[in-house]
Structure 1
């Protein structure tokens, strides 16, 4: 038996207003006068109050990134080239400021600045050879767990799959719950449900252990306080739930919902949060209690999911989604354990997609 020896985020700052510490953290990385920092900021913040608070120096590189679509290997490679052409040297830090997609872009760019070739070469597990540039994650939406995880999920030429590596993990995160104020309700819900679903899949999986269980149970309790009890400190609670949900799957694995969601995201372009919600809503056979709670939360917040999006799709489109979903071996192993290949059939997956 082998045991995971996984890396956690070594430094973190938590608390309302803690974003102000970013400049101090970066000053520790700036050693020479021409040392520069790359800020990758979700373009939803452009011309908004937060943009004026980003501690950009005159010789830094600030890039507003668009994440209306899921991040791609092509986008990562283009950003990497832009950074490489900027100053004739490498930056001392790469900062991701935004939701999970922006954090994943920052992780991926920090890796690709030190590893040759295109990012599609590194989609998989432990393919990265060289340590990344110092990188910092600052979530402005809570739920994905991207701030805690060892993956940067990208849509590549063949599939949607992460750059899974110990080098992917952020060197520093800043969790300031003030930054998630004002997120539209739908997005707040979809991203928060990513966290809730992490916990369900971890707790119901064959990879479950006391480490993963401790984080998942606490994260799930926090999700209930946020989405059912509407707690007065719900922003702080959701930020911690997101981190703990990410830590739970770090020592276990996600499951059927994420596998199906990857198919939806890769072929139809659905964002990860809503993709998970669409998938989870048809997985009551896998996660009966979790789906029942999810539907209660959905009703409480008046969330209406699109229906029938796969019902009339051409067979070849469904087949593409099935192929992506079926290729997620570790996820299905967490669902069924040994011999999962016999249970995860094209017919079973086609049936699930046709219900979405």
Structure 2
């Protein structure tokens, strides 16, 4: 038997105000005068966070457009622009939610690997270590800060660059940075973590490693989304750790039905990942009855509106493509339903699920 030799983030800083140590952390990675590139969500342009990024010498801030899910074409363009302007860089440090985390990891890898990022969508296709890359999450829930993938929408599929070279070299977990996020955005991102846990803990790939992380993440999600009367400062800290543990829970397992369906929604309709997960999860009580029951209670408590009828006006061609995108995510279906998953899921059953959304 061959066991997966999973790479973990080698360095982590945690604590309120820890992001103020970025300059101290970044300085030793400078090489031969090459710049450090900072990625930041475009929502921070002209805001206080951007003014605290320690740009020095020939460093540069690039504000990442997160209005859409990360695309391979966007990754390739930023890579090409950086190579044209600087030739080489010392590293990339990304501030933001899951989209910025994934862009940071992807561009880092593409600075040292030839071709298009679309060539590396899949498992263990990346051959060369990327440039130094660090993540500074400003939203909690995706687990992107700890995962070995960066999910991208390409010309023919939505799929991650899953490799041992993808995880960050450094992560800075500062709960102060997650305060003040828009309510709906924070909820949808938090639900990504909750759904990670439900799918991992109910999957056929479950083992003691995944279970220990998943159970803790689920405990923290339920505490803050179901049991507490209101969100507070401690909640920001709890969800930051839930995100970390939720990401670790799928390191040795996988996600499941909601994520597979969400990938299809994102590819065809451009729906953001966290929102797509919620749209899908809301309709799959037959697969995760207890998890969906609690999810609906969370939605009611936080008064968040889950989009409805998003697939109502799709053409047959669009619906068929959406079904194929979801159906091709074999590891997710196998984790959710077992090795004989094809006896339970086919094009017709997926189409029926999408028609409910």
Class of the TM-score when normalised by the shorter of the 2 chains? over 0.9
Structure 2 residue 2 is matched with structure 1 residue 2 = yes
Partner of 1:252: 253
Q: What's the CA shift string for 1:37-80, capped at 9, x where partnerless?
A: 01111110000010100011130121111010010000000000
Partner of 1:22: 22
Give how far 1:349 is off.
0.2
CA distance in structure 2 between the aligned counterparts of 1:31 and 1:118, rounded to whole angstroms: 25
Structure 2 residue 109 is matched with structure 1 residue 111 = yes
Q: What's the CA shift string for 1:270-322, capped at 9, x where partnerless?
A: 00000000000001000000001111110000011121121342222211110
What are the residue-to-residue correspondences of 1:227-306 with 2, within 5 Å?
Answer: 227-228=225-226, 229=228, 230=230, 232=232, 233-306=234-307
Q: Is the 8 A contact 2:141 2:192 kept in 1?
A: yes
CA distance in structure 2 between the aligned counterparts of 1:221 and 1:178, rounded to whole angstroms: 22
Q: Is the 8 A contact 1:12 1:175 kept in 2?
A: yes
CA distance in structure 2 between the aligned counterparts of 1:92 and 1:49, rounded to whole angstroms: 25
Give how far 1:83 is off.
1.0
* Bigger mean CA deviation after superposition, 125-134 or 230-239: 230-239
Partner of 2:149: 151
Q: Is the 8 A contact 1:71 1:101 kept in 2?
A: yes
Q: What's the CA shift string for 1:299-354, capped at 9, x where partnerless?
A: 00001112112134222221111000000000001011112223221110001000
* Bigger mean CA deviation after superposition, 190-199 or 61-70: 61-70
Give how far 1:2 is off.
2.5
Instruction: Give secondary structure in 1 for the equivalent of 2:165.
Output: helix
TM-score w.r.t. structure 2 length?
Answer: 0.98
What are the residue-to-residue correspondences of 1:92-241 with 2, within 5 Å?
Answer: 92-228=90-226, 229=228, 230=230, 232=232, 233-241=234-242
Partner of 2:321: 320
Structure 2 residue 311 is matched with structure 1 residue 310 = yes
Give how far 1:145 is off.
0.3
Q: Is the 8 A contact 2:34 2:86 kept in 1?
A: no
Unaligned runs of 5+ in 2: none
CA distance in structure 2 between the aligned counterparts of 1:52 and 1:67, rounded to whole angstroms: 19
CA distance in structure 1 between the aligned counterparts of 2:343 and 2:120, rounded to whole angstroms: 28
Partner of 2:75: 76
Give how far 1:86 is off.
1.7
Number of residue-to-residue matches in the alignment:
354
CA distance in structure 2 between the aligned counterparts of 1:320 and 1:188, rounded to whole angstroms: 30
CA distance in structure 2 between the aligned counterparts of 1:2 and 1:310, rounded to whole angstroms: 42
Runs of 4+ in 1 over 4 A off after TM superposition: none
Instruction: Give secondary structure in 2 for the equivalent of 1:135.
Output: strand
Structure 2 residue 43 is matched with structure 1 residue 44 = yes
CA distance in structure 2 between the aligned counterparts of 1:252 and 1:26, rounded to whole angstroms: 33
CA distance in structure 1 between the aligned counterparts of 2:188 and 2:100, rounded to whole angstroms: 16
CA distance in structure 2 between the aligned counterparts of 1:355 and 1:312, rounded to whole angstroms: 12
CA distance in structure 1 between the aligned counterparts of 2:224 and 2:22, rounded to whole angstroms: 27
CA RMSD in angstroms, aligned pairs only: 1.0
Q: Is the 8 A contact 1:150 1:166 kept in 2?
A: yes
Unaligned runs of 5+ in 1: none
Q: What's the CA shift string for 1:163-192, capped at 9, x where partnerless?
A: 000100000000001001111000000000
Instruction: Give secondary structure in 1 for the equivalent of 2:310.
Output: coil
* Bigger mean CA deviation after superposition, 35-44 or 110-119: 35-44
* Bigger mean CA deviation after superposition, 209-218 or 223-232: 223-232
Give how far 1:133 is off.
0.5
Give how far 1:198 is off.
0.2
* Bigger mean CA deviation after superposition, 339-348 or 173-182: 339-348
